[in-house]
Structure 1
Amino acid sequence: MTAELVRGQNHPLPQARLEIRVSAGKPVVAGATLGDEQGTVRGTEWVAHPGSPNLPGLEVSKQAAADHRLAVDLEALPETVHRVNVLLALPLGVGGPSRFGAVAAPFVCVTGLDGSEVANYTVTGLDSESAVVALELYRRQGIWKVRAVGQGYAGGLAEMLGDQGLPQARELAAAIQDAVSSGMARSVAAPPPRSEEGDRSRRTASHATNGGRDGQTDAVAPTATPPAAPAAAGPDSGARQAAPGGPIDYAHPRRQSAAPPSPPPTAPPAPPGQYPQPVAGDATGWSMEERLYNQVWGMFEDLARTVAAYRSAVDFAESRMEQELDKVLSDPRSRIGTAGDTARANARAKHDQLVGQARDVLERDLAQLVAETDVVEPALPPAFASWDNPAWHGYRVPMEIPMALRVGDLHLPERPDLRIPMLVRLPLERGLWIDSGRSGSEAALMMESDQLRRAAMETAAAHAARLLAVYPAGEFTVHVIDPAGTGAPALAPLTESGVLDAPPAAGAQGVTAVLAKLTQRVELVQMAVRGGVVDSLPPELDTAEQLLIVNDFPHGFDDRAVTQLRYLADEGPSVGVHLMMVADREDASAYGPVLDPLWRSLLRVTPVPDDHLIDPWVGHTWTYEPLLPPPGSQVLRQVLAQVAAARRQLPR
């Protein structure tokens, strides 16, 4: 039976290996400190945090997230450790809330490895605090217990760590926040939460030009307004208010006139002891597109947690073997002779058995995910599909903006052939940075610099072509800044097909003209949205979504141009202006930390496989692979030809 703790209450822990689950609603930093008998943290090596997530017997998340799972092995903790404090803190400098009073009360649950709950605690009563000790695991007379603490600190991590006796509290707090900021810049954004009905507001092509933009898009957490009805219900299906003096509307404001969505396809019953056969679209959603989107994200999370369980089991087996070997070596009588050899052999045999069991479970779960991938991939719509998917051969210019766009594939070393589509919501919430530098990956280091830069530009052109293809005709415009003209070969599919309204801007003068035009657009649309006069925008203003591709940054940029670029990165996405940078960060090193916010605001991808992205649940480092047409394929040019033809038919 689960113990629901209140502040100050304790409960015995029935086992040594535990999992602590945290749910906060908003991204928080989860960590833990180790304390001696007096509760003192002796040094920074006794603090587990995103920058140093692994300690003996303890593992925490590598990044800020709304949900966390902390692994604890009480038997593997150092003998001098008598307390484990589970701490939560709000990340600073990332645009989120600065106090716990502005977010939902964090919920912390202690479970066994099988998921059975031992005790839980809802941390209430917080206001100005930005850090809190949620739980304390403590040992008394050889028995471990958990206590609900809920002690908050308005001074944040520095005050909390200092209260636990850590001399370097302020320096470590700053290092933790730096690690969190870096991790959030590398993180794949999790899908936004859905309403209870699984609904989402469908965006039509005209959404980019109406008053629906208020600085937020569907890619962030929903606002407090009621969920919109599905598109099939028509524009009048939401809650209505009678006009003053008009007829009374007796319809219930929350009663939906649309029929409920048809249930997702289900798999036939499986034989006893076997998994059911996977089915494409086996997830919640109002449309097949939304079901596939949710199914892909479900596969992503399943793979992350499956591998996390395997790695945790292997770590436990190794920790246990090391402990048993240490006991053997600490006894002089067992260092020589057959008794010591037998003990060492038994320790290694137990290790191999545990690892073998964990591997069997991993292989079983991975086989199920591979089977699901085999049925989901062929069913994906063009926006979610790879370039070699048959969906692109039957491509037609869409009439509606899709939910998301596939920008690459992700995989883990435990199963490199199991690739998860990397989907980002549309409209884009973050710009893209295609890193053309030799960032340290083996693939990048093996390529010449010029070859890598061309590959980066080809990747950018493929992303731009995909964006043009998934938007309705005329609802997406691409601008290109190529000061030295080095990107011309890679840009050939875009320039030769006629999908660009203007040729790539060259030289410092071209850079100035394009940036001035887009900056003016952002300012005008922002003023119109704030004033509620979107209909009064100049008729010559292009209200379509805008993408600016910048090659060879900072070549051709002066200080004013750099400032305008930073402005577009900060203010552009909320009004439909997005960046795609093709750059080597080393080339802009002369600007120093001035450009750090710019790089962090962009989602970094690479033209070659590179392990730099992390998931939002566990914090694994995933290998990203760019999405490019197969060698020799003409699919990209064929798709762009259809896009150009559709654009030419639009009224001018």
Structure 2
Amino acid sequence: MIQLKAGQNIPLTGDVVRFGAKAEAALDVCALVVAENLTVFSSEDVVFYNQFATAGVVLAADEVTITLAEVRADAKAVLLVVSADPIAFPGGAGLGPVTATLSEGDTVTAEFAATPTAGETALICLEVYRRGAGWKLRAVGQGYVGGLAVLLAAHGVDVDDEPAQSDPPPRPAARSGQGVPAMTGPVSGEASTVAGAPLEVGHGVERLWMVFEDAARSAAALVSAREYAAERLDHELSLAVSDPATRNTPAAEEARRVAQQRNDELIATAEHRHQQDTEQLMRELADADQALPPALASWDSPAWDKPAVSSDGIRLGELYAIDRGPLRIPYCVPVPLNRPLWIDTESTRAVAPVVGALLARLLAAAPQRQALVDIIDLTGAFSGFTGLLAPVLNGPLITDHADISARLQAMVDAAELAELAHTSGAFPAPTEHRVLLAADFPHGYQTADAQRIGALIMRGDVIGLSTVIVGTNESDSADTTVATLSQSCRHLPTDGGTTLFDPWTGSAWQLDLDLLPQEPERQARFMRTR
């Protein structure tokens, strides 16, 4: 049996698994069958004391049994939950220690112990989730003060009675204070998914974010184990010297030796498990790189030498953590860029290779659609590769600030006309993939230009527009229009010291952005315009 820490995951090998839990108070157990966004498809996907079964999931005798092959094909996961009546806990005492178990056959496979400390009366203990063609188990430990009603509401269930105390849906907390960048991805609704479709190469963004999620959970388990080991060692060493009469005796020395040995063994076990996870994920990424479309693949992938293949996303770079081994996770986002990318920099010229890589991948993402690119480059920073883009440029490069407004307004007019036609039902889906690259922002731009870019962001989907802005982060600008525009974008830091936090566990990562190779022959290979 494996003792799980919060965030840790293991593969499941059985066809049928059983979930149970114990605590000092009487518990109700239930299960939620959820989609990619962790919400239920309908009320029928909740198994609890008033509804004992749904496809593949049955509640009986305080246990939930899951027959994995019978769970609905479009489900992402089954959340396993315990709850208790808040009235039974005066003074907000909450559930107290909870021990959850998952069994395969007659054998307990894993145990997860959690102790909610904020008065929670409902708790997501475990998650059984799809991983490719198989299933895995993850320890969660997400609690809800408002009880089962609030937990259900957070996962898309219509609750008849308004809970007395409301919690927001769960959000991962960053580890180092306010204002730190947090990453978001397909799980937050930025990409549409096809119900029932396998999340494999055909849905590359989803596949890579699944790998990223597993890496984040493994990283969180390692960090948690290290922290726990340090706390336990400190406690045991303190006990060994707490009595002045014995602190210098052989017995105390032996206690210190044993404490250190236990600490080393715990850390070694955690690091071994993390290494196993890392090796598995590295193999998976290497295999994926051979099959993913070029917009998501590495520069060395054979995909760049094959006929163009469309993609549901683009690769922005790689995430890594020096203290957690060699694993490097592709950081990808869906396309078209319904949420614009903002490259934070004081020098546009310094990030030209980053911008070139983005344009190459955006062009590669939709080879079946005509590309139209509008570029505002007031400092001539992109002259090294813009010649390759001549076949797809929607007019001359804008190098004079006096020409910005007219070009942006023309794009706004086109988007508004398309929106009117779309509303009347007379406009088909966009056949073009348009890209706006607005560099050197906000210098040389008028406030009205920021408003125009904002209008394009709101209506860009009707003309298939992806927007990339290059400039200093203006989220705190005194110009409210510019600040609002900045706040609506996904910011890509170019300062190597910036730490990002994943959206599942708040684990820290460093980001290396993709760079367009500088060799002319390689640039021509990657900057596909036909």
Deviation at 1:549, TM superposition (A): 0.7
Deviation at 1:109, TM superposition (A): 2.8
Alignment check: 8 A CA contact 1:3 1:11 kept: no
The DSSP-based 3-state class of the residue aligned with 2:260 is helix
Deviation at 1:385, TM superposition (A): 1.5
Alignment check: 8 A CA contact 1:313 1:358 kept: yes
Alignment check: 8 A CA contact 1:325 1:347 kept: yes
Alignment check: 8 A CA contact 1:21 1:108 kept: no
Deviation at 1:604, TM superposition (A): 1.9
| Corresponding position: 1:220 with 2:192 | yes
Deviation at 1:472, TM superposition (A): 2.6
Counterpart residue identity of residue 410, structure 2:
K
| Corresponding position: 1:476 with 2:371 | yes
- The equivalent of 1:531 in structure 2 is 424
Deviation at 1:546, TM superposition (A): 1.8
Output aligned runs, 1:290-301, within 5 Å.
Answer: 290=202, 295-301=207-213
Gaps of 5+ in 2: 1-17, 40-88, 94-111, 128-136, 156-160
Counterpart residue identity of residue 262, structure 2:
K
- The equivalent of 1:544 in structure 2 is 432
Deviations 1:386-438 (A, max 9, x none): 2232322x244x4x63222222222233455322222322222311111114x
Counterparts of 1:365 and 1:129 in 2: how far apart (Å)? 33
| Corresponding position: 1:409 with 2:318 | yes
1:409 and 1:601, CA in 2 relative to 1: closer, same or farther beyond 3 A?
Answer: same
1:221 and 1:291, CA in 2 relative to 1: closer, same or farther beyond 3 A?
Answer: closer
- The equivalent of 2:386 in structure 1 is 492
Could you tell me which of 362, 380, 392 is aligned with 2:274? Answer: 362
Counterparts of 1:465 and 1:576 in 2: how far apart (Å)? 17
1:342 and 1:551, CA in 2 relative to 1: closer, same or farther beyond 3 A?
Answer: same
Could you tell me which of 462, 465, 482 is aligned with 1:577? Answer: 465
Output aligned runs, 1:38-437, within 5 Å.
Answer: 39=91, 74=115, 83-86=117-120, 108-109=124-125, 125=149, 152-153=163-164, 186-190=182-186, 219-220=191-192, 284=198, 289-290=201-202, 295-392=207-304, 394-396=305-307, 398=308, 401-415=310-324, 417-437=326-346
The DSSP-based 3-state class of the residue aligned with 1:410 is strand
The DSSP-based 3-state class of the residue aligned with 1:188 is coil
Counterpart residue identity of residue 545, structure 1:
H
Counterpart residue identity of residue 383, structure 2:
P
Deviation at 1:221, TM superposition (A): 6.1
The DSSP-based 3-state class of the residue aligned with 1:552 is strand
Alignment check: 8 A CA contact 1:299 1:369 kept: yes
Alignment check: 8 A CA contact 2:294 2:303 kept: yes
Alignment check: 8 A CA contact 1:186 1:613 kept: yes
Deviation at 1:493, TM superposition (A): 4.2
Counterparts of 1:119 and 1:610 in 2: how far apart (Å)? 31
Alignment check: 8 A CA contact 2:237 2:256 kept: yes
Counterpart residue identity of residue 381, structure 2:
G
CA RMSD of aligned residues (A): 4.9
Alignment check: 8 A CA contact 1:383 1:405 kept: yes
Deviation at 1:592, TM superposition (A): 5.5
1:374 and 1:220, CA in 2 relative to 1: closer, same or farther beyond 3 A?
Answer: closer
- The equivalent of 2:26 in structure 1 is 10
| Corresponding position: 1:622 with 2:513 | no
The DSSP-based 3-state class of the residue aligned with 1:505 is coil
Could you tell me which of 419, 423, 445 is aligned with 1:557? Answer: 445
Deviation at 1:108, TM superposition (A): 2.4
- The equivalent of 1:464 in structure 2 is 359
Counterparts of 2:177 and 2:296 in 1: how far apart (Å)? 30
The DSSP-based 3-state class of the residue aligned with 1:383 is coil
1:628 and 1:151, CA in 2 relative to 1: closer, same or farther beyond 3 A?
Answer: same
The DSSP-based 3-state class of the residue aligned with 1:634 is helix
1:600 and 1:340, CA in 2 relative to 1: closer, same or farther beyond 3 A?
Answer: farther
Output aligned runs, 1:14-29, within 5 Å.
Answer: none
1:364 and 1:479, CA in 2 relative to 1: closer, same or farther beyond 3 A?
Answer: same
Q: When you count strand as a share of all residues, which structure comes out higher?
A: 2
Deviation at 1:545, TM superposition (A): 2.5
The DSSP-based 3-state class of the residue aligned with 1:366 is helix
Counterparts of 2:355 and 2:452 in 1: how far apart (Å)? 21
1:574 and 1:22, CA in 2 relative to 1: closer, same or farther beyond 3 A?
Answer: farther
Counterparts of 2:27 and 2:207 in 1: how far apart (Å)? 38
1:362 and 1:156, CA in 2 relative to 1: closer, same or farther beyond 3 A?
Answer: closer
1:120 and 1:434, CA in 2 relative to 1: closer, same or farther beyond 3 A?
Answer: closer
Gaps of 5+ in 1: 14-19, 29-36, 42-70, 78-82, 89-106, 132-149, 158-172, 194-216, 231-283, 438-449, 647-652
- Mean Cα deviation higher: 472-481 or 520-529: 472-481
The DSSP-based 3-state class of the residue aligned with 2:436 is strand
Counterparts of 2:142 and 2:516 in 1: how far apart (Å)? 52
Counterparts of 1:181 and 1:570 in 2: how far apart (Å)? 28
Deviation at 1:628, TM superposition (A): 2.1
Counterparts of 2:255 and 2:523 in 1: how far apart (Å)? 63
1:592 and 1:344, CA in 2 relative to 1: closer, same or farther beyond 3 A?
Answer: farther
Alignment check: 8 A CA contact 2:186 2:205 kept: no
Deviation at 1:354, TM superposition (A): 0.7
Deviation at 1:522, TM superposition (A): 2.1
The DSSP-based 3-state class of the residue aligned with 1:467 is helix
Deviations 1:228-287 (A, max 9, x none): 9x9xxxxxxxxxxxxxxxxxxxxxxxxxxxxxxxxxxxxxxxxxxxxxxxxxxxxx45xx
Deviation at 1:311, TM superposition (A): 1.8
- The equivalent of 1:508 in structure 2 is 401
Q: TM-score, normalised by structure 1?
A: 0.55
1:123 and 1:508, CA in 2 relative to 1: closer, same or farther beyond 3 A?
Answer: same
1:455 and 1:362, CA in 2 relative to 1: closer, same or farther beyond 3 A?
Answer: same
Deviations 1:591-610 (A, max 9, x none): 26654442332222244645
- The equivalent of 1:138 in structure 2 is none
Alignment check: 8 A CA contact 1:2 1:117 kept: no
Alignment check: 8 A CA contact 2:114 2:141 kept: no
Q: TM-score, normalised by structure 2?
A: 0.67
Deviations 1:505-551 (A, max 9, x none): 1333211012101211222222222221216x9xxxx9623211111
The DSSP-based 3-state class of the residue aligned with 1:548 is strand
Deviation at 1:494, TM superposition (A): 4.1
Deviations 1:312-344 (A, max 9, x none): 222221121122233335434344444443333
The DSSP-based 3-state class of the residue aligned with 1:517 is helix
The DSSP-based 3-state class of the residue aligned with 2:322 is coil
Counterparts of 2:306 and 2:284 in 1: how far apart (Å)? 24
Counterparts of 1:151 and 1:566 in 2: how far apart (Å)? 37
Counterparts of 1:583 and 1:549 in 2: how far apart (Å)? 11
1:493 and 1:302, CA in 2 relative to 1: closer, same or farther beyond 3 A?
Answer: farther
1:514 and 1:130, CA in 2 relative to 1: closer, same or farther beyond 3 A?
Answer: same
Counterparts of 1:557 and 1:156 in 2: how far apart (Å)? 42
Deviation at 1:355, TM superposition (A): 0.6
Counterparts of 1:119 and 1:468 in 2: how far apart (Å)? 41
Deviation at 1:125, TM superposition (A): 4.9
The DSSP-based 3-state class of the residue aligned with 1:186 is coil
Counterparts of 2:406 and 2:203 in 1: how far apart (Å)? 43
Counterpart residue identity of residue 470, structure 1:
A
Percent identity of equivalent pairs = 25
- The equivalent of 2:79 in structure 1 is none
